[in-house]
Amino acid sequence: LGRTPRTKFSAANKNSQDYDIRILVTGYKDWNNQTEKVSQSIRKHDCTHLIASRIQRTQKFLSALAYAPKILSVDWIRMCIKEKKIIDENAYFLIDPESEMKYNFKLAESLKKAGENKCSLFKGYLFQISPGAVSNYNNGIDTVKQIIEANGGVCVSTTSRRNEIEYKDFSIVLISNSLNDRASKQFIEKREETNH
């Protein structure tokens, strides 16, 4: 998704004043045909509204979640386009019990915690990611890196001496699918050297 010119709609229940919103859309295939009609920002920290067809474990969805935006169904954007104004969001909050059961979480609770954490869930943590651990994700390490950084963490592919000095007060976390791969072995060896 790219940037589009800002389009101002009159806002429902806001004394007809213009209401500027910044949205991030994921999983809405019809969106490309409507880019001239609504405002859009792809920067997660600017996102006020996340529009999705369902709960998804994508880079966009999980990164934006850290900023506790309003998460709405695609029906809301369709109605805004149709009415040419900002429709009240209350009837359009994303409801997806099937995905909540699948991923064993509650979206409302996660949003509440995100608002409390203020993008600091992983603050003070340095993550080293083994490439094999994220090979099944689109864009692999880059996807996981953006999600971690959106939550205040630091992500590296190797823990170099420079990283260890710069982040000496951080807790270090290894993400790996095997303790036998090269990156994991180096990580364990460095930890053992540090502890001796």
- CB count, 10 Å around CB of 162? 9
Check whether 14 has a pLDDT greater than 60.
no
Q: What is the value of pTM for the model shown?
A: 0.73
How is 126-153 classified by DSSP, letter by letter?
Answer: EEEE-GGGGTTSTTHHHHHHHHHHHTT-
What are the pLDDT digits (tens) for 117-137?
A: 999 999 999 998 887 777 666
Name the residue among 66, 106, 113, 74 with its Cα closest to residue 93.
74
- For residue 11, the cross-strand partners are 86
Domain count, the chain: 2
Say what the pLDDT of residue 36 is.
40
What are the pLDDT digits (tens) for 43-93?
A: 556 788 999 999 998 888 999 999 989 999 999 988 988 998 889 999 999
Domain assignment present for residue 2? The answer is no
Domain end marker among 90, 117, 144: 117
State how far the Cα of 195 lies from the Cα of 116, in Å rounded to an integer. 35
**Percent of the chain clearing pLDDT 70 (strictly above):** 71
DSSP helix/strand/coil, 112: helix
Its domain, for residue 183, covers 125-195
35 and 131 belong to one structural domain = no
Q: What is the mean pLDDT of the chain?
A: 78
Domain assignment present for residue 52? The answer is yes
Domain assignment present for residue 5? The answer is no
Check whether 138 has a pLDDT greater than 90.
no
183 and 130 belong to one structural domain = yes
Say what the pLDDT of residue 112 is.
96
The enclosing domain of 97 has a CATH number of 3.40.50.10190
Residue 86: burial class (beta carbons within 10 Å; 0-12, 13-18, 19+): buried
Main-chain dihedrals φ then ψ at residue 126, nearest 5 degrees: -110, 120
Say what the pLDDT of residue 2 is.
33
- For residue 126, the cross-strand partners are 154, 172
Domain end marker among 67, 101, 117: 117
